[in-house]
Amino acid sequence: MTSYSTSPLAKSDWTIATARHLLNRGGFGGTPVQVDALQAMGMDRAVDYLLDYGSTPAAAISPTEFDCEIRKPLTAEQRAVYQTARQSNNEAAREQLQQLRNQQDGLDRKQMQEIQKWWLRRMIETGRPLEEKMTLFWHGHFATAYRTIEDSFHMFQQNQLFRTHAVGNFADLVLRILRSPAMLKYLDNDESRKGRPNENLARELMELFVLGEGNGYTESDIKEGARALTGFTFNDDTFEFQPNNHDRESKSILGQTGNWDGDDFAKIILSRRETSEFLCGKLYRFFVNDGPGMPDAKRKSFAIAMATELRKQQYEIKPVLRLVFRSQHFYDSANRGATIKSPTQLIVQTIRELGTPPRELATLNAAGDLMGQSLFMPPNVKGWDGGQAWINTSTIFVRQNLAVYLITGLRPDSFDLDESLAKWDTGALESAIAARTAGDSAKEADALLDLILAIDACEARRTQFRQYVKTLGGPLTQARLVAALCLVTAMPEYQLC
Amino acid sequence: MEPNTPLTRRIFLQQGVTLASLVATIPWFLENSALAMLPADLRVSSQAGVPEDRILVVVQLGGGNDGLNTIIPYGSDDYYRQRPQLGIPAPGTTNGALQLDSKIGIGLHPNLVGFKELIDSGRLAVVQGVGYPNPNRSHFASMDIWHTGKSEGRGNGWIGRYVDNACNGSPQADAEIAIGRSAPLAMFGDLHKPVSFENAKLFQWTGKELPAALDAPYEAMNRAGALEGVVPGSQAAFLMRTALDAQLSSDRIRAAMDKTPLVSYPNSQLSTQMKSIGAMIRDQMKTRVYYASIGGFDTHGGQAGAHGNLMRQVGDALLAFQNDLKAQGNATRVVTMVFSEFGRRVRQNASGGTDHGTAAPMFLMGEGVKAGVHGTHPSLTDLDQGDLKFTCDFRSVYATVLDSWMGAPSKKILGASYPNLKLLRG
């Protein structure tokens, strides 16, 4: 019987398998040793460890590594030169400015790639996995793409905002996102002014960010909300409210009338019950089960309980995640392996779980792109659909080939195998297998499947794999283990989390 | 399941356990063939007189193509009043439009030389003012409406429903193929899932090259379908079936891509996609619908240059494709349909661009189309909140293609009757 209960899991049900489930979902998985350590803590402490990560040192990568000056707006002097050049048709001066622009474009694109690599590395190395996991969640929720923004520093700033508020207060985050240059630019609010409001940001606040589509708002509410948001723009890297461009007339949003500004607009929609339910539905799909139509009718009560907790805690995220990560429902076998790894999850978890070298970060990001998830480049403002949408007949090959690349160093775009790349320290996995088989080599195949797959492999799959391992003719160490891992990661089940 | 697949449910009820238990372990296309072996009255038959080997290619221009700067209403003063900087000059002037119809005063974007040649040689039809009632100006919402063919934009895709219901009841695994990272909603039916790939070279497992005889066990694991013991309908079952579909498609598609095309294609994103589609058609794949897509049409700022480049890319790529089909001897078998989720606002904005609008032209290309301009250009003065009023529902174009080209009952697939247009030759 599937449990839909929010009650905490019984102490006796806390096992290696549940600890691994928690680490996979609340983070990016871990080595068998890490899973064992988490299990030894007991559930209460394990959940606290993931959630209260403030005491774990953050990866020491200073934000100042990135240059905030690349896209610096033209100075008054430069603008004057440009204007004169345009008016007098001074081709040489115009050319010079164009070159400056092109140079900036190149530098900025390069920096964006560096930031992409930086974030991926951070996810691979962090001791605070939930912080990065939630940062990824918010990036998908408040999706903005570099393609439109073309300012790498603004993307970086926004990424830091998501990290700071990762398990913080949602209402607070909404108010801050309305001050994020990346968001203001992405949804054209920087060009929205009194008399000529741009509806983009107002529409997405209603439809995608806060209230949720179909939750009782009209086109008129969007138009009025857009008027409230006029004047919310940015100057260089900081938010700026321009009173002259703000519409000071009365607006009526969801039946409330007043001289609202952007913050008032956000607060009006945050006061709706639907907002908590909309957000918790998304959190449910991200953390618990992302099968088609989830949460379905039977699971609705659990998602509603999450929403109730979110409202009770005045939009604090952490208590809601605590509720989820301790609940019987979260650990129920119906929810094990019930999400599909996002491309980022696949990359990071494969490295963290198997202990492979990270190889080349740029190649990993390119693979992420081919699998449908390029960091800082969500396909549109809706973010990534997730779940089964990740999988099609082409991404499935890229996923399998990415694992081959991590495990062997064999690049997906060539068939040259550099033998020196193939070797990495498989010792941790070998001892984990040894600990689970007590020297009985006949049990090795099953032990490896149990260490890696998120679901209990079915008998047909176990039989196939046992037969293969037998042909390797020796214990699962080094080259034989590497070969076996290529096969396990090519199993369709490996895509489950 | 959606209510529009009574077929499936009835068959399951009639055939009982034997078929149902098969279904867990066989790929989609075999499952569908199994359904097709049932009594003919359960199937949706194709229409008499329509050849079975016809192909539809859909080209999606994502982001909202500016219809008014694609088909230029140069005869209208309002056009230039609303677009003082962005307006394209009349034919015969510098950077002027290419002449289309001097009586009404419409022309093509100057970079659409490919389209000009196609029209002049009788291979391109322009359908004016295509849209739908209560236009939605959100990219996603509007795209979903176009993909589903339903006003509320919910449910499965119109091409997916075609494949579910037609193809003489026995769609192949590769009945529909999308070039790109992920297939569009339009191609997802209830039964049938599209194949999609971006690069044929990456469309196989690299681990096969490794030692230790990995090939055979890999094949066994990925070609097994949903294994016994796996919960039907679970994520695991879904993955196992998709893995099998991937193997089958990979075999076929890589074989097709090995040949050099008969004509040279320009170097662009869309062109590369059209070249792949050309190769698959030439290789006599059984695919009925191909889908190509490019983005970048969301020209809110600095539109002139960016849109001009896109126009050239679209015109040149489609001309090369049509010429390839001719060289192959397949030109009469293929119709290509070009659409975007909406057009753009009549008035240019303050950033040298245009904002989301409504109606825009669609294009049908092929030797089977009635070339020239169809329908009337929407009025530039009788506007709805600054936007064009549509003169043709896009589902009428779908219905025409379904009924008259693909030989499939549009009413069943679209869920309503839409008048057919005279866009195709007898």
> pLDDT digits over B99-126, tens only?
999 999 999 999 999 999 999 999 999 9
Q: Which residues, at least 6 apart from B201, have a Cβ–Cβ distance to it below 8 Å?
A: A413
Q: What confidence score (pLDDT) does residue B56 get?
A: 97
Q: Write the CA distances from A445 to A132, A428, A442, integer angstroms.
A: 33, 16, 7
Rounded CA-CA distance B398/B412 in Å is 12
Give one DSSP letter per residue of A88-124, joined into a string. Answer: TT-HHHHHHHHHHHHHHHHHHHHHHHHHHHHHHHHHH
Sign of CA dihedral B237, B238, B241, B243: negative
pLDDT band at B40 (very low <50, low <70, confident <90, very high): very low
Touching A: B residues 109-138, CB under 8 Å: 137-138
pLDDT band at A64 (very low <50, low <70, confident <90, very high): low
Q: What confidence score (pLDDT) does residue B152 get?
A: 76
Name the minimum distance, in Å, from the CA of A233 to any CA of chain B: 15
Instruction: Name every chain B residue with its beta carbon within 8 A of the beta carbon of A461.
Output: 221, 227
Instruction: Name every chain A residue with its beta carbon within 8 A of the beta carbon of B242.
Output: 391-393, 396, 492
Rounded CA-CA distance A163/A166 in Å is 5
Instruction: Name every chain B residue with its beta carbon within 8 A of the beta carbon of A401.
Output: 202, 205-207
User: What are the boundaries of each domain within chain A?
Assistant: 11-55, 343-422, 427-495
Closest CA to B161 of B285, B2, B13, B41: B2
For chain A, what is the mean pLDDT?
A: 93
Q: Mean pLDDT, to the nearest integer, of B374-386?
A: 92
Q: Which of A165-169, A188-192, A343-347 has the lowest mean pLDDT?
A: A188-192
Q: Write the CA distances from A332 to A3, A453, B111, B380, integer angstroms.
A: 6, 16, 60, 60
pLDDT band at B393 (very low <50, low <70, confident <90, very high): very high
**Residue in A338, A400, A415 nearest the CB of B209:** A415
Q: Is this model's pTM higher than 0.90 or not?
A: no
Q: What confidence score (pLDDT) does residue B172 get?
A: 62
> Tokens 């160093």 label which residue?
A409
Contact A191 B349 (CB under 8 A): yes
Examine the pLDDT at B9 and tell me if it is beyond 60. Answer: no
Residues shown for chain B = 426
Q: Write out pLDDT tens, residues A46-59.
A: 999 999 999 888 76
Q: What confidence score (pLDDT) does residue B155 get?
A: 74
Residue of A nearest to B217 (CA): A468
Q: What confidence score (pLDDT) does residue A120 get?
A: 96
Give one DSSP letter per residue of A236-249, joined into a string. Answer: TTEEEE-GGGS--S
Q: Which of A136-140, A163-167, B38-42, B180-184 has the lowest mean pLDDT?
A: B38-42
**Residue in A372, A396, A493 nearest the CB of B242:** A396
Q: Write out pLDDT tens, residues A83-129.
A: 887 788 776 776 687 778 878 988 999 999 999 999 999 999 999 99
Instruction: Establish if A223 touches chain B: CB-CB under 8 angstroms.
Output: no
Q: Mean pLDDT, to the nearest integer, of A489-497?
A: 98
Closest CA to B239 of B249, B229, B251, B230: B230
Contact A458 B234 (CB under 8 A): no
Instruction: Establish if A24 touches chain B: CB-CB under 8 angstroms.
Output: no
Examine the pLDDT at B49 and tell me if it is beyond 60. Answer: no
Give A416 or A373, the one with higher predicted confidence: A373
Q: Write out pLDDT tens, residues B285-299.
A: 888 999 999 999 999
Q: Is domain B6-414 annotated with CATH 3.40.720?
A: yes
| A195 burial type by CB count under 10 A (0-12 exposed, 13-18 middle, 19+ buried) | exposed
Examine the pLDDT at B159 and tell me if it is beyond 70. Answer: yes
